[in-house]
Chain A
Amino acid sequence: GAGVSQTPSNKVTEKGKYVELRCDPISGHTALYWYRQSLGQGPEFLIYFQGTGAADDSGLPNDRFFAVRPEGSVSTLKIQRTERGDSAVYLCASSLLAGEFVTQYFGPGTRLTVL
């Protein structure tokens, strides 16, 4: 079946602009996660959705970052007033349920470059 998909695969923007990154999870997966991976680093957790609600947004670095999942499927990560330090690969993952016994399935990521 189809895996997690993310669009766009690459996004180049200028400092100060607004960007939206989209994630389509595996059909039927109720849990959705966003991570950010900087060059040479492992992914860092940003936010977790269970259904439509953000159950844990403790990893969002500041209030310029926001994410939604209005219908419990597709999610959009929104970044306002982008800064050069926001440049990274943004990864989305989904799992059938949340919990310690469940594997997260990752998408290919969106590479964001802020000039």
Chain B
Amino acid sequence: KQEVTQIPAALSVPEGENLVLNCSFTDSAIYNLQWFRQDPGKGLTSLLLIQSSQREQTSGRLNASLDKSSGRSTLYIAASQPGDSATYLCAVKVGGADGLTFGKGTHLIIQP
């Protein structure tokens, strides 16, 4: 059974810092990996989707990498801002399953 782990569970940093969120998964036979953002009381917003054949994706200040063979992904946030404060979730899609398998998330606070 696929398991997704996110480290750290919580992170608080001053505004302006660059930071890295980590995600690991136990079964490397994935179709894709997605990073989502969840704000309190709201649904999930997709940030980046990396297909299994890709190594990274970039969107603005966000960069996500994927190392399928080692079962790891990182989300890099450059020049963090208070508006980046949210819970960040990593999810993988595996073959033979229709739903996504999520980690528990990293709760990020950016201090002004």
Contacts and interface: CB of A to CB of B under 8 A. Distances in A.
Tell whether A pairs with B.
Answer: yes
Interface of A: 4, 33, 35, 40-46, 48, 55-56, 58-59, 91, 93, 98, 100-101, 103-109
Given A56-B99, A100-B93, A42 B104 contact: yes
A100 B98 contact: no
A57 B51 CA distance: 25
Q: Classify the secondary structure of A's interface with B.
A: loop
B98 A44 contact: no
Nearest to A100: B31
B99 A41 contact: no
Interface stretch (B14-22, B39-47, B69-77): B39-47
Contacts of A45: 97-101
Interface residues of B, number: 26
A45 B4 CA distance: 14
Interface of B: 4, 31-32, 34, 36, 41-46, 49, 51-52, 89, 91, 93, 97-105
Interchain residue pairs A-B with the least CB separation, the first 5: A45-B99, A42-B102, A100-B31, A106-B43, A48-B98
Contact of A42 (B31, B32, B93, B103): B103
Nearest to B36: A106
A35 B93 contact: no
A35 B104 CA distance: 14
